[in-house]
Structure 1
Amino acid sequence: MFSKIGQAIFDNEAVSKTSDFKMGLEVEMDRADETGHLSTEPYPNMIGDETTNPWITNDFLEAMSEVVTPPAKNAIDAVHYLYSINTSLRTALSPGEMLWPLSMPPIMPKNKDKSLIAHTTPKKQKYFETWLKKHSISEGAPCGTHVNLSIRPHIIDLVYKNFPNRFQSKQEVKNYLYMTMAQGFIRYRWLITYLFGASPIAEENYFDSDNRPKHPVRSLRQSTSFGFGAKFFADYTNLNTYVDSMNEAVKNKTLLTTAEGQGPVRLRGDNDLDKMKKTGIQYIELRMLDLDPSSSIGIRTGTLRFLRLMASYFIMSPSLKPSEVVKTLARANEMNDTVALEKPNECTYSIHAKSLIRQLKFFVNSIQAGPEYQEIIQDMGLRVKYPELTPSGQLQEKIKDNSLVEYAVALGRDYQDGALQALRPFRGFEDNDRPTAEDLKEYLFGGSWEV
């Protein structure tokens, strides 16, 4: 089961380090009113300047808020950061406002114009306006969760030490392991969409034409036909092909900028991709998760545990041959689109899903992971066996008159009430809209949590 690298990690008793990533979370949520319409209220003034606050900002729409956590030592700390900053945002909202708990936006205005676009920096504003020449405002409205993963230095050092003839530097080890993880997540993105997809329908005024699904689906947001962003997929064979493929796409005008070609997994390092060829990959950003409406912060700890397990599995398993990457990932993208547009009570790739879950179960047993990992594998296996247990399967039961407004408003109001009852909401953004990670650590946790 293990690759040579995986066996070295196992033999050196470093398995636990492969699933204990440094982590950061970014969660987008639209602001809505209690009638289920996109909010028209301004950016909350209690949380500082929307163009400079690094922890709470807006994204494409003025009503789309994004909470960003500092890089945390582990997943639990990242979730605590997310919960506390999310609560700070909620307590700053105007009366009657809430954070919409679904990835697909609330009811949008019938006439969608540029007044909906975020008030942001001139550079970002120019990009949005250029982007709108190729896309509709609706395409930029869906929200989701991004998970940033950074491999522990101990693993980098171990691999470098054990394979001196294979890697010339520690950065070369990083590039290889991050690219292996990226390939793995894209290859099995269809399973993540199946297990966590939660955008079965769109509300009134989202579609401007009759080109729309005829029935509820697994994930509108993750589909190529109706999802967000560019319909471009980079070449993940290695770092150079990744950068070159995006530069070429900009050159031939498939992409406006390389930022538009972020894809389901984004390699992160220097913002200048050509420089990143030299400085290398520093972490990866997973961008394929819909908001989980069953959590007030948009993602559950069990989901993070499953993603960490998958990342560890990819690091320790044989990687794709370079000659097979493009073809394999192209097929994986087709599979993902099929899953995204299947009915929520279907599992098109049931046999494939059961096989991978079984393989992950073997992996968990082989590395003697704790019961929490065995439980999450069991839960995901049940979702494969019973599609009605998936988020979209459950949401389908909440649809009334082709809408989820009644359900989403009730849920959003409940989460909002809970935040308003918080004993110690963070108020530091009022006086300092650019607090450092250390400021947040002290304000939110009283210095009791490690970053």
Structure 2
Amino acid sequence: MPTNQISFEARLAAVSAPSFMQALCNIRHGIERETLRVNDNGTISSEPHPQALGAALTHTWITTDFSESLLEFITPPETDVVTSISQLNDIHKFTYESIGEQYLWPMSMPCFIDEHTDIPIARYGSSNIARMKEVYREGLHNRYGSMMQVISGVHFNFSLPDEFWQQWCDLHGETWNKDTQSDYYFGLIRNFKRFAWIIPYLYGASPALCSSFIAHKDVKHKFDTVGKGTLYMPYATSLRMSDLGYTSSSQANLKICYNDLSTYVSSLRGAIGKKAPDYAHLGCDEQNGWQQLNDNVLQIENELYSPIRPKQIAKSLEMPTNALQDRGVSYLEVRSLDVNPYSNVGIDIEQFHFLDTFLVYCLLAPSEKFDEASRPLSQQNITDVVERGRDPALRLSNNGEPILLKDWGQQLIIELRKVAVLLDEAKQTSVHIEAVNKQYEKFMDPTTTPSGKWLKTLLDNDMDNGELGMALAKKYKAQAHNIPYIHLSKADFVAEALVSENAQKEIESPDDKDFTQFVSDYFGKRVACDHEM
């Protein structure tokens, strides 16, 4: 039977079988949390990556993203949510102990930054891989500006276990393999994109920004002002996800296809290979200076801005699209979460439970393939929600039909409660239904959303974003000193720093290939290193 003819209710009933329920207990999660190192006065740190944190190129848990000052904390895939949160606490604790008088910025939009030159691009050593990562970042700076690149987010990695997929394919009369598993992951992705507006509404926490963020830039948005220099939009939820933030107008015309793995890979490769006239003036060789890796629309796959990505663990010197094509989708990376400023680690346990429920729902619900008319509707919904999601009059487009955000949200909550009950029964708990019910309250009262709470604090106290951010940064650093290590000890971090430094040296010692040849080989063979660019 074609999968879209199987109803949500029929699938929900099927996965209530004991064998399915056991498999649902083994959903795995991993977190990538980004955060800026800042000084006591709330400005971005210009100091290099702390030596105590090891080599950012090769460290297991602590690396950098765009900037030397933009840390990224990584937890391994775990089935136990409490374990993931505890690992994040351990990483934060050791980092606080290693950065002296500096702090970790607790929100998505950056602190006060006077000039883009104040943002030091991340460095990774002397190897060709290190230089390639650095040139890629130079390209991001030249294409979009450094300010956009130091916006922080939380990436939520999610996968269902093999035993689930085996039974799921049996249910649909199909053979379980990388292709069928990938097809169902892409069905989940399409539903996620249809309902993606719900994430910035429920968890967006960036309705305001420092005026330095848009200094010397022409913006179409109309802002109100609070404090000495904080700009806000009255109904905004996540300016991080707006065209002011972590998006790219140059990618607006890309038609990346999410209907199946092969069309996704081919459309993404097409973007990587497509020349971009806007970037042609930037050097991409030794003669003209390495200002970018190439002058294509995307330098590499990771430059694509998307609220969710299909992922496969890449081998050494393997391009992500090659890994996907060869071994299929093994997990999903949800990229639309703002840093939660009300959590000391940027995400709380309730968010885990809701996201599990939401992602399982996106799998169980029938998922029609996108066509040319439906593709832009989901993006317009996101745009409307991030800019004015708390406006009671906001209407979104549900399959082309206008609907009040509040009404659509309540409809989704009804369906999500059914999935939450299933997951709670499987795990003998009540955490999923509690998490879903908590979100229902946000649809009833937008002021209870993180963006609503954040903006109310600013307005009630005529306070700047930076002032509130620093208050929380100092609070969380003080808390970290008073909690014990749980899963990873201080000795573990000291040992890993040494291991990472030795691993970087091993990469550098035999690396004598000319960089131009290295880049040519990289793209000629469609390969990429196993570390995220």
Question: Deviation at 1:293?
Answer: 0.6
For the pair 1:118 / 2:179, whether they are aligned, the reply is no
Give the counterpart of 2:496 among 432, 435, 443.
Answer: 432
Amino acid at match of 1:154: E
Please state whether the residue corresponding to 2:116 is helix, strand or coil: coil
Match of residue 192 from structure 2: 185
- Tell me the equivalent position of 1:448: none
Query: Percent of aligned pairs with the same residue?
Result: 23
> Alpha carbons of 1:363 and 1:52: their partners in 2 closer, same or farther (altered >3 Å)?
closer
Partner residue in 2 for 1:105 = 110
Matched, 1:223 2:242: yes
Aligned equivalents of 2:54, 2:270: Cα separation in 1: 39
Tell me, yes or no, if the aligned pair for 1:233 and 1:263 is still in contact at 8 Å.
no
Q: Counterpart of 2:145 in structure 1: which amino acid?
A: S
* Structure 2 SS opposite 1:14: helix
For the residues of structure 2 that align with 1:210 and 1:298, how far apart are their CA atoms? Answer: 31
Q: Of the candidates 409, 433, 446, which is equivalent to residue 353 of structure 1?
A: 409
Amino acid aligned to 2:156:
V
TM-score by length of 1: 0.88
Work out the CA distance in 1 between the residues paired with 2:449 and 2:118.
Answer: 36
Do 1:183 and 1:329's aligned partners in 2 also have CA atoms closer than 8 Å? Answer: no
Which residue matches 2:28? 22
Q: Partner letter of residue 326 of structure 2?
A: K
After superposition, the C-alpha distances for 1:21-73 in whole angstroms (9 at most, x for unaligned) are 11111000111122111122332222212222121011111111110012223
Q: Any gaps of 5 or more consecutive residues in structure 1? A: 437-451
Distance (Å, rounded) in 1 between the aligned partners of 2:340 and 2:140: 28
1:401 shift after superposition: 5.2
What is the DSSP-based 3-state SS (H/G/I as helix, E as strand, rest coil) of the residue aligned with 2:413?
helix
Matched position secondary structure for 1:23: strand
Which residue, out of 365, 369, 389, partners 1:317? 365
Aligned residues of 2:43 and 2:112 also touching (Cα < 8 A): yes
The counterpart of 1:258, out of the listed 290, 301, 305, is 301
In the alignment, the residues of structure 1 paired with residue 472 and residue 423 of structure 2 have an alpha-carbon distance, to the nearest angstrom, of 39
1:420 corresponds to which residue? Answer: 481
1:73 is aligned, of 75, 79, 83, to 79
Corresponding residue number in structure 1 for 2:217:
209
**2:205 is the alignment partner of 1:198:** yes
Shift of 1:10: 2.6
Q: What residue is the counterpart of 2:508 in the other structure?
A: none
Q: Provide structure 2 residue ranges, at least 5 long, that are not aligned to the other structure.
A: 1-6, 125-129, 224-231, 275-295, 395-404, 501-533
Give the counterpart of 1:237 among 256, 259, 262.
259
Q: Which moved more, 1:250-259 or 1:179-188?
A: 250-259
Q: Report the residue type matching 2:472 in the other structure.
A: L
Asked if 1:337 is matched to 2:359, the reply is: no
Given that residues 239 and 245 in structure 2 are in contact (C-alpha distance below 8 angstroms), is that contact kept between their aligned partners in structure 1?
yes
Q: d(CA) in 2 for partners of 1:226 and 1:423?
A: 36
1:138 deviation in Å? 0.9
Which residue identity is paired with 2:266?
D
Q: TM-score, normalised by structure 2?
A: 0.75
**Residues 29 and 156 of structure 2 are in contact (CA less than 8 Å); yes or no, is this contact kept in structure 1?**
yes
CA contact (8 A) 2:33 2:155 kept: yes
- Contact 2:140 2:149 (C-alpha < 8 Å) held by counterparts: no
Letter in 2 for 1:354: Q
In 1, Cα distance between equivalents of 2:420 and 2:372: 29
Partner deviation per Cα, 1:297-351 (whole Å, 9 max, x = no partner): 000110110000011112222222x3x3554342111101100001656572111
Distance 1:429 1:31 in 2: 19
Once the 2 structures are TM-superposed, how far is the Cα of residue 142 of structure 1 from its aligned partner? Answer: 0.6
How many residue pairs are counted as aligned between the two chains? 430
Please say if residues 38 and 45 of structure 2, whose CA atoms lie closer than 8 Å, have aligned partners that are also in contact: yes
Q: Using the alignment, how far apart are the partners of 2:299 and 2:258 within structure 1? A: 20
CA contact (8 A) 2:140 2:146 kept: no
Contact 1:234 1:263 in 2 (8 A): no
Aligned residue identity for 2:165 = I
Q: Distance in 2 between matches of 1:430 and 1:40?
A: 24
1:385 aligns with 2:444: yes
Give the letter aligned to residue 338 of structure 1: D
Superposed CA offset, 1:167-211 (max 9, x none): 3x4223321221122112211110111000011112142113241
Distance 2:48 2:393 in 1: 42
